Amino acid sequence: MTDLNEYECEMLDTVLEAFGVPDNLTRAQILQLFDNDEATAYAMVQALIREQLVKVAGKAGPYEIPEKLILKPKGEKFLKEGGFTKRYQLEQEKANQVGGTLAKLQQQNLRLQNEKIGLQTDLANLRKTLKKQQIGIYSLTALFVAALIWLLVKALAG
């Protein structure tokens, strides 16, 4: 459905609304709806056929409009539910929601990246502090051992 724009959706709904009491349209009626623009009429008829809203009656060439289109019950129900225009609007709303969700995810991603950088900085600072404390412990240990050796030497000499 995403290959149709809003104008095409409105045109398809117009075709569906044009089906009368016998629930069929002739080739001439279809062409009249599109001001005898066969290319546009053909494209719109193909969209209706693809969606399985109508069935073809009569012969048609490979790129011709069929002699008659018959509205299926599915087509009538589809039109009552809002038709192509309603579907198009719902898809546009979905696209906006997805776009909004994407923006929120991008914001969250940026926030998490900033938080990660902050935590990495904190970790680096803690490692520096740990290294300083280890050096302090090693210095105190060396000083204690030196003092102990001095006391032993003094005790043995004396």
Q: The domain that contains 48 carries what CATH number?
A: 1.10.10.10
Flag whether 64 is in a domain.
Answer: yes
User: What confidence tier does 57 reach under pLDDT thresholds 50, 70, 90?
Assistant: confident
Flag whether 151 is in a domain.
Answer: no
Flag whether 116 is in a domain.
Answer: no
Flag whether 32 is in a domain.
Answer: yes
Flag whether 58 is in a domain.
Answer: yes
Flag whether 132 is in a domain.
Answer: no
Task: Provide the domain limits for residue 11.
Answer: 6-81
Flag whether 152 is in a domain.
Answer: no
The residue among 4 and 83 whose pLDDT is bigger is: 83
Read off the tokens for 124: 């680096």
Under a CB-based contact definition with an 8 Å cutoff, are residues 14 and 100 in contact?
no
Flag whether 102 is in a domain.
Answer: no
Q: How far apart are CA 66 and CA 26, in angstroms?
A: 8
Contacts of 58 (CB under 8 A, 6+ apart): 27, 66, 67, 68
> Tell me: the pLDDT tens digits for 135-152?
999 999 999 999 999 999
What global pTM score does this model have? Answer: 0.56
Amino acid at 50: R
Under a CB-based contact definition with an 8 Å cutoff, are residues 58 and 66 in contact?
yes
